Amino acid sequence: MSTVVGIVNNEGVWIGADSAATTPEGEKRPVLTKKIFRNRDYLFGYIGSVRAGQILYPDFFKPPSNIMLLPEMIRQHFGDFGAIALSQENQTQIHLSNFLVGFKGKLYEILIDFQINEIPEYDAIGSGSSFAFGSLYNTITRKKMKPEQRIKKALETAAFFDLSTAGPFIIEKL
């Protein structure tokens, strides 16, 4: 897996990601992955299936102008591209990734069951997310730290403790 971190404030939305690629067994893969990308007015960051992220690139997917329609459009798009799985627990449709999404000055997460949540300040997803959350919480009161610095510190902390998170770290602002 990987770690993706997002911060939102009155100046914008920042999303940062690591660059590790690993197999489900934890083996590192020597590939270049683009875990953060722009598609129209959206900034996407994702963990999980690289293919799921790739089929949302601008060449393959046109996102809606209403963020609340995005999960259903992703579900349909993933179905068209064969990127849907069934939950063994309750047989509902799921995808094999989680997303942080910046859109119109707000930060959202889309979970594997296509649930969408607006994030009020910061979020982290992936295998190193609990370590990143700890770092983000610890840096709330450091007013002199810029969002990019907080995200970099959160990703560094996740990489220190989580074997599936590794640099280089990429951070983009919407």
Is the pLDDT reported for residue 157 higher than 90? yes
Question: What was the pLDDT predicted at 93?
Answer: 66
Model confidence pLDDT, tens digit, residues 30-81: 677 789 999 999 999 999 888 889 999 999 999 999 999 999 999 999 989 8
Angle at 159 between CA 141 and CA 124, to 5 degrees: 55
Q: Which residues pair with 93 in a beta bridge?
A: 86
Question: Could you tell me the pLDDT band of residue 91, with boundaries at 50, 70 and 90?
Answer: low
- Distance, CA of 124 to CA of 70 (rounded, Å): 20
d(CA 30, CA 85): 26
- What pLDDT does 82 receive? 79
Q: Return the CATH class of domain 13-120+162-173.
A: alpha beta
Is 0.85 surpassed by the pTM of this model?
A: yes
Measured in whole angstroms, the distance separating CA 33 from the mean position of its chain's CA atoms is 13
43 CB contacts (<8 Å, ≥6 apart)? Answer: 13, 15, 36, 37, 101, 102, 103, 172, 174
Q: Is the C-alpha dihedral spanning 79, 49, 55, 113 positive or negative? A: positive
Neighbours of 1 (CB within 10 A): 22
Mean pLDDT of 75-98: 79
| Cα angle 172-94-92, degrees, rounded to a multiple of 5 | 155
For residue 146, what are the contacts with CB-CB under 8 A and spacing of at least 6? none
Question: What average pLDDT is seen over the chain?
Answer: 92
Provide the CA 42 distance to its chain's centre, in angstroms: 12
